[in-house]
């Protein structure tokens, strides 16, 4: 679990929801899709933080 700051929340939410809308289906368990979406959003936030420091 990672901490998402207030200024990062909109980007995290957009990435996660976008992934869910594209990849959620009746044939796949939703939990697996939600986990993948949160990992993708976490990776996006980590990359944003790296770029801000550089």
Q: For residue range 12-36, what is the model confidence (pLDDT) as tens digits?
A: 999 999 999 999 998 889 999 999 9
In 3D space, the residue among 2, 18, 35, 22 whose CA is nearest the CA of residue 47 turns out to be 2
What local confidence, expressed as pLDDT, does residue 39 receive? Answer: 97
The count of structural domains within the chain is: 1
Residue 20 within a domain: yes
- The whole model's pTM is what? 0.86
Q: Which residue range is the domain that position 27 belongs to?
A: 7-53
Residue 2 within a domain: no
Residue 16 within a domain: yes
Per-residue CA distances from 41 to 3, 15, 26, 27, 54 (Å): 12, 5, 22, 23, 20
What local confidence, expressed as pLDDT, does residue 27 receive? Answer: 86
d(CA 30, CA 11): 21
């Amino acid at each position: 679990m990672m901490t998402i700051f207030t200024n990062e929340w909109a980007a995290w939410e957009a990435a996660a929801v976008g992934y869910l809308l594209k990849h959620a289906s009746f044939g796949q368990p939703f939990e697996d899709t939600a986990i993948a979406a949160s990992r993708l959003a976490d990776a996006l936030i980590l990359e944003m933080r790296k770029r801000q420091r550089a």
